[in-house]
Chains A and B, each alone.
Chain A
Amino acid sequence: MAGITSYGAYIPRYRMNRKVIFDQFGWFNPANASVARGEKAVANYDEDTITMAVAAATDCLNGRDRKEVDGVYLASVSLPFAERQNAVIVSDALNCSSKLRTADFGGSLRSGTTALLSAFDAADAGGNIMVCAADSRVGKPGSAQEYTFGDGAAALLVGNDGVVAEFKGSFSVSRDFIDYRRLPQEKFGHEWEARWIRDEGYGKIIPEAAFGLLRNYGLDIKDFAKIVIACPVQAAFVGLVKTLGAKPEQIQDNMMSNVGDSGSALPFMMFVAALEEAKPGDKIMVISYGNGSDAIYFEVTDEIEKVKKGRKGIKGCLSEKEALPIYGKYLVFKNIIPIEAGIRGEEIPPTAMSVLWREGRTISALVGSRCKVCGTPQYPRHRVCVNPDCGAVDQMEDYHFSDKTGTVNSYTGDNLAFCWDPPQIYGSVDFGDGGRIFLEFTDCELGSLKVGMPVFMSFRKKYADPQRGHYGYFWKAVPVK
């Protein structure tokens, strides 16, 4: 029987105390004091749905062979590209085979669980599907969403071998309940009255799915060790616990106090957090919400203990954080206000799509080469070996750098180069197994850097070419303190 064979998560390093927002915008709507508690995760300026999905999927793969992946699904309502598949960017970055199925799921916060259910269908035919859910939504300044929205991602590997949480059944309802909505060209959404959404939306649609599931499978709410209710509205969440007749210890924390409403990723992230604490035999119910609801029922297997090792997951990501105390920085990271980029930031040469295509995995997956004669790993791919004592021609094999770690060989913080979060930090990285690459550094402060410090690779947005509807992605080095 198909199920979850691995899981991973990603929460951006920056967390903003919601009081920082209230200090700036509390005057505008004092009622937002009710949501101005706790902190929310904020994606760095070079992160988006795609990069967070790659990070979560990398955590989920945890060293597994990428060739085992037969499909990559990406669910989000904040996909960077309307046309140009987002999931294939994730798949390429992971260096999966090109002979696989990729698909974007979107349009509703339920897209994550819908993608997951589709993956179970595919797994029945024998495939391993990586399902990523990620969101990085922007709340309008002054709105409650500005406080509640948070960024994050999670990934679930679906397959038949080594199942840690068996897929036992599901129940879906679809309702054109128009609570929060946004047109394709809009940056910010629109909301109907909050009380109506609480009572008629969350309050009725989620129970409809949950009770439907219980009824269909002859279960009682008491049978579940954990219930994931992807409801980011605190009052509705509390009401649902009562409506479902669940005990507080059965309820998985909705992460509103430390991450925020991560949209399509919320049910996934909560589910991963539940799996991190799960024991063999536990039944877990996952309920999503968004123009309806999917309730899915899992049973945890003996494999769970094996899979818990060696990944960051929700727990690891929650502990690695840095405060973002400047509201202005948040506005810039989220591209809410224009910033004086100067002539260096404005001067954007046209991106040559033919080069991106030709270079392919060199760029998307940081694939360099290793000389078959002298064994030197090198990047980028050149036909002539870089080792001055070798110089062999056309003796190269592919060599994957993005899953390798290295150390800082040199660095600087450049105030002249345009950067959304100056100074632009970059340097050269020496890889432990050989090879040197000059890279940008991210998720770090200049003052904390040292020659010899360990780094790992992270897939990030490298440049924006908005005039031509393009974002460039590449790998950056993240120093480990």
Chain B
Amino acid sequence: MAKGIKNKVAIIGMGCTKFGELWDKSASDLIVDAYKEAMEDAGIEKKHIDAAWFSSCVDEVNVGKGGFPLARTLKLPFLPVTRTENFCASGTEAFRGACYAVASGACDIALALGVEKLKDTGYGGLPDFGQLMGVERRVIGPNLTAPGAFAMMATKYFNRYGLSPEEGKRVLAHISSKSHHNGTLCPKAHLRREVSIEQIMKAPMIAWPLGLFDCCGVSDGAAAAIVVRADMAKDFRKDPIYVKALQIAITSGEEEGYRSWDGAHVEPTCRAAIRAYEEAGITNPREEISMMDVHDCFSITELVTYEDLQISPRGKAREDVEAGFFDLDGKIPCQTDGGLKCFGHPIGASGLRMLYEEYQQLQGKAGERQVKNPRIGLTHNLGGFPHMSVCSVAIVGNEL
């Protein structure tokens, strides 16, 4: 394997808007808000930026395609601006672009910014993917939505590990309830109230067996990061956060068309995690990772991700969930800010929003939800559907 970018890049500034149904804010407003916070945090000026990566997924229906929305909104001085779109990994993909540019020496300082203005699409949930997945897929693929695609994984997980729908839903409810609790402690989260396991179990069905509270929120938001070469980082701040690993894996199509996939896990997450741990030099993730923000678009996604990230053994995530292993006071707190569950999922922004939480935790600035003495934070995105996905794993730390 290549050497990777461990300890070559540091984050010196981050910004994140409040997430929510921001009817009074445009995508441009969100871009400016996230940018301002990141720039003030880094203590730099516009002229210091060498290049920018801009992520949005379906927001081309709002702000438009290409790098223009970022460049025009921020009046960037004729910089190279690249738009990234890789489904729900779009934000992490922008971050990866900026980090690779810095690590290569092509840039000293790069900006990654992601935004999504979902509440201007008119949909509850994500917009219809029929137009976004290519014409052949619309003609032959089932009329599916994201909740339905992930619900199939819940069906298979319950079936494979012998859980009745009632038992399975109770495990999933623990996951959502935990995230809702964490969300109450995070001022920038969209949904900030406790939700009990019983409430979650009784909620209206969205896509069987997933109910309303098994699904993440739908929000607007933006987040940004400023990265520099690691050896420059201390010139800007005393507590930079170092990038340990950045990996992405995309389906080869075998889950969809070949019968080896069990439908109860997400293969690209496994592959991206293995590569990320190798890049970061992590040999025992269950012991070495301090906290995580994973792609909990649905409760079942978070459950299988515990296993796909090789934190919980296959089929045993349920035991860890029930033992409180991933609760805020557990061994590896997960979704310390409430996750997608409470922030919602403005697609282009989510990956950077997760990094924002790790950044704050690693700097000890997470307030009431602060994890004790964290060293290593992990973020994970899963785009597309379990049978056709793009997964990213990012690992960051506060020590070189």
Contact = CB atoms under 8 A, between A and B. Distances in A.
A331 interface: no
Given A343-B123, A382-B253, A436 B259 contact: yes
Interface string A309-327: 0000000000000000000
B170 interface: no
Contacts of B153: 410
Interface in A417-445: 417-419, 423-424, 426-428, 430, 434-440
A428 B258 CA distance: 11
Tell me which of B138, B205, B206, B258 has the highest count of chain A C-beta atoms within 10 A of its own C-beta. B258
B257 A410 contact: no
Contacts of A246: none
Given A352-B135, A412-B155, A428-B152, A376 B258 contact: yes
Contacts of A436: 256-259
Interface string B256-277: 1111100100000000000000
A416 B206 contact: yes
A379 B256 CA distance: 9
A419 B152 CA distance: 18
B131 A424 contact: no
A386 B135 contact: no
Given A352-B135, A359-B139, A380-B140, A414 B256 contact: no
Given A378-B257, A438-B256, A451-B155, A423 B139 contact: no
A412 B258 contact: no
Q: How big is the A interface, by class?
A: 35 or more
Contacts, number: 139
A349 B145 contact: no
B159 A386 contact: no
B259 A344 contact: no
Contacts of A333: none
A419 B144 CA distance: 10
A343 B148 CA distance: 17
Contacts of A351: 139
Contacts of B154: 412
A475 to B, nearest CB: 9
B143 A440 contact: yes
A285 to B, nearest CB: 46
A413 B138 CA distance: 19
B123 A344 contact: yes
Tell me which of B130, B205, B207, B260 has the highest count of chain A C-beta atoms within 10 A of its own C-beta. B207
A122 B206 CA distance: 55
Given A343-B123, A352-B135, A409-B156, A415 B257 contact: no
A412 B152 contact: yes
Contacts of A363: 139-140
B155 A379 contact: no
B227 to A, nearest CB: 35
Interface string B61-79: 0000000000000000000
B131 A347 contact: yes
Interface in B314-373: none
A417 B148 contact: yes
Contacts of A339: none
Nearest to B142: A426
A419 B142 contact: no
Contacts of B209: 412
Interface string A25-58: 0000000000000000000000000000000000
Contacts of A412: 148-149, 151-152, 154-155, 207-210
A472 B159 contact: no
A435 B256 CA distance: 9
Interface string A328-372: 000000000000000110010101100110010011000000000
A155 B97 CA distance: 61
A74 B216 CA distance: 50
B162 to A, nearest CB: 12
B152 A388 contact: no
Contact of B259 (A359, A415, A419, A434): A434
B387 interface: yes
Interface string B117-152: 000001111011011000110111111110111011
A416 B149 CA distance: 11
Contacts of A344: 123, 128, 145
B208 A446 contact: yes
A474 interface: yes
A411 B123 contact: no
B252 interface: yes
A439 B141 CA distance: 7
B167 interface: no
B254 interface: yes
Interface string B236-254: 0000000000000000111
Given A414-B151, A474-B139, A388 B145 contact: no
A416 B139 contact: no
Contacts of A387: 254, 258
Contacts of B145: 344, 414, 416-417
A417 B253 CA distance: 24
A414 B155 contact: no
A463 interface: yes
A430 B259 contact: yes
Contacts of B148: 412, 414, 416-417, 424, 426
29 contacts: A343-B128, A347-B131, A349-B131, A352-B135, A359-B136, A359-B139, A380-B140, A386-B257, A388-B254, A410-B155, A413-B205, A414-B148, A415-B204, A416-B125, A416-B147, A416-B148, A416-B206, A416-B207, A417-B145, A418-B143, A423-B205, A423-B208, A426-B143, A426-B148, A427-B152, A436-B259, A438-B387, A451-B159, A474-B139
Given A344-B128, A436-B257, 19 more contacts: A343-B128, A344-B123, A347-B130, A355-B135, A382-B253, A410-B155, A410-B263, A414-B143, A415-B204, A415-B205, A416-B124, A416-B145, A416-B206, A423-B207, A428-B256, A435-B257, A436-B258, A451-B156, A463-B143
Can you list the 6 inter-chain pairs with the closest CB atoms, starting with the nearest? A414-B148, A426-B142, A412-B151, A410-B152, A386-B257, A414-B207
